[in-house]
Structure formats: C-alpha cells, structure tokens
C-alpha cells in the first residue's frame, strides 16, 4: 500500500492529471450531447 501513500503525497501531480482529464471528459461529453 506504499503506492497509495506516494500518490497521496504527490497531490500536485495527481491534480494536474485529473485537471486535463476533466477537461477532455467535459469536451467528450459535450460532443456526445450529455451536457
């Protein structure tokens, strides 16, 4: 479970990843007409 601890420690990296992922997800959903 050391990986989970490491990931929690690096909030910046995880935040950046989820940031661009959210943008892509929003664009895809908008394209499909969900929003």
Q: What single string gives the DSSP state of each residue in the chain?
A: -HHHHHHHH-HHHHHHHHHHHHHHHHHHHHHHT--
pLDDT of 26: 92
The pLDDT assigned to 2 comes to 54
pLDDT given for residue 28 in this prediction: 93
Confidence at residue 13, expressed as pLDDT on a 0 to 100 scale: 58
Per-residue pLDDT reduced to its tens digit, 1-35: 555 545 555 555 556 667 899 999 999 999 998 65
What's the pLDDT score for residue 18?
76
Q: Specify the DSSP class assigned to residue 1.
A: -
Q: What is the pLDDT of residue 19?
A: 87
Main-chain phi, psi angles of 28, to 5 degrees: -65, -45
């Amino acid at each position: 479970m050391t990986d989970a601890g490491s990931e929690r420690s690096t909030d910046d990296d995880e935040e950046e990843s989820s940031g661009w992922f959210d943008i892509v997800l929003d664009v895809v959903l908008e394209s499909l007409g969900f929003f």
